[in-house]
Amino acid sequence: MAVPVTTAAVASQRDAAATRSRQALSVLVVSTLAFTVCFMVWMMFGVIGIPIKKALNLNATEFGLLTATPVLTGSLVRVPLGIWTDRFGGRIVMTLLMASTVPAIFLMAYATQYWHFIAIGLFVGLAGGSFSVGTPYVARWFPKNRQGFAMGVYGAGNSGAAVNKFIAPAIVVAAGWAMVPQVYAAVMLGTVALFWLFSRSDPAHLVTSKASFREQLQALKDPRVLKYCQYYSIVFGGYVGLSLWMVQYYVGEYGLDIRVAALLAACFSLPGGVLRAIGGWLSDKYGAHSVTWWVMWVSWICLFALSYPQTDFTVLTVNGPATFHIGLNVYAFTGLMAVLGVAFAFGKASVFKYIANDYPTNIGAISGIVGLAGGMGGFLLPILFGALMDLTGVRSSAFMLLYGVVWVSLIWMYFTEVRSRPVLGSAAA
């Protein structure tokens, strides 16, 4: 009589495992969709900011602040949202977060003055906090040996920056910039409904967060945390800053139509988002240091070439003056930006691999502060891009700034990691 009971128990366990697997897949898919939409909304000013800049006659610094404002709140709320996710669950926190942004997104269509856009943009920026909600929410639905893959897939929602560049320009040309926030508000509302319907809750995932905001800030006393903040301010902050800046750069530098400019800018944003999972796999296989080291060198080379401004110079030859032109054409520029996007995608994953290796018992607190630093980089960089352009009149000064920051990262990494590694064959200490 024990055999049928055992068989029934095994069948019941198999059914429970299959149900759990379906629920985990549903959570992963719908959470990734939600994060993609949130990131699309977060990057909205990267496209609609161009006609707004023209209508309000903004300078480059004012434009940078306009595009960066949503990034500020999206970065600052990451830590409390992560704590609330641990306490109340990702399903309810993500749903309320997305729903709270819908009124602000819709009201953006009726803004008429600069301060209107800044104030409303602060509330729209809450959508950017979705990363710190979805990451722990998704991870807890998967076993440890699949959590890296799951978080990588979810992180690919960064490609919402590219989705924005595909959708928003077409709407701007067809119906004007004010229609974009109205459409995005409807999309966000629909996503809230889909997320609630297809996401799941598990009471076993609820934990009492042990890391307060003040405790997370204490991590800044650790030199390694400061270093990882520096790395992430490049690979994530640089990604966000350039995603916001590139459409207007193409329009101003190469005189392109906004639709063509957005399409070419997506050549940076798309690989910079979707390839993050591959970066995680490479970091698992080759180590966080090796991947990050090569990411920084590839970024350094790309930014060196991108920094050179369009230049005409005259040389006095034996046959008289000869004028030459040096500068990247639109095809070479776009190719370099695509390579830079791939490097940033790998770097975003490798930095978090560092954290998992060095702080296995404190991942939440350290990743929170590093993520905050990356978000603040995404906030400050567009403002600095605009200020440098107003000061120098050189558009490529944005890449000069990033080139300098990457130099700092390479030097820091060399003295703290490369030189400290033991020489092959040396005696153990």
Best CA proximity match to 170, nearest among 105, 296, 260: 260
The pLDDT assigned to 106 comes to 95
Residues 307 and 403: beta-carbon distance below 8 Å? yes
Higher pLDDT, 222 or 6: 222
What average pLDDT does this structure show over 257-272?
Answer: 89
Q: Cα 203 to chain center, whole Å?
A: 30
Structure tokens at 208: 């009492």
Q: What is the pLDDT of residue 424?
A: 38
Asked if the model's pLDDT at residue 282 lies above 60, the reply is yes
Helix/strand/coil for 49: helix
Q: Which pLDDT score is estimated for 423?
A: 42
Query: What whole-number distance in Å separates Cα of residue 403 and Cα of residue 396?
Result: 11
Q: Give the pLDDT confidence of 192-251 residue by residue, as tens digits.
A: 999 999 888 878 777 765 555 666 667 677 788 888 888 999 998 999 999 889 999 999
pLDDT band at residue 277 under the 50/70/90 scheme: confident
Mean pLDDT for the chain overall: 85
| Count of all residues that appear for the chain in the document | 429
Helix, strand or coil, per DSSP, at residue 338: helix
In Å, how far are 123, 136, 143 from 251, measured between CA atoms?
28, 39, 47
Show me where the domains of the chain are located: 2-198+209-418
Least confident of 32-46, 186-200, 263-277: 263-277
Q: How far is CA 99 from CA 34, 70, 87, 193, in A?
A: 11, 16, 19, 9
Q: What is the pLDDT of residue 154?
A: 85
The pLDDT value recorded for residue 341 is 92
Amino acid letter for position 118: I
Higher pLDDT, 179 or 200: 179
Choose which CATH entry (3.20.20.70, 1.10.3720.10, 3.40.50.1480, 1.20.1250.20) describes domain 2-198+209-418.
1.20.1250.20
- Sort strands 311-317 and 320-326 into parallel, antiparallel or unpaired: antiparallel
Secondary element (H or E) of residue 77: none
- The alpha-helical segments, DSSP class H, found in 156-255 are 160-175, 179-198, 213-218, 223-235, 237-254
Question: What pLDDT, on a 0 to 100 scale, did the predictor assign at position 365?
Answer: 65
pTM for the structure as a whole = 0.82
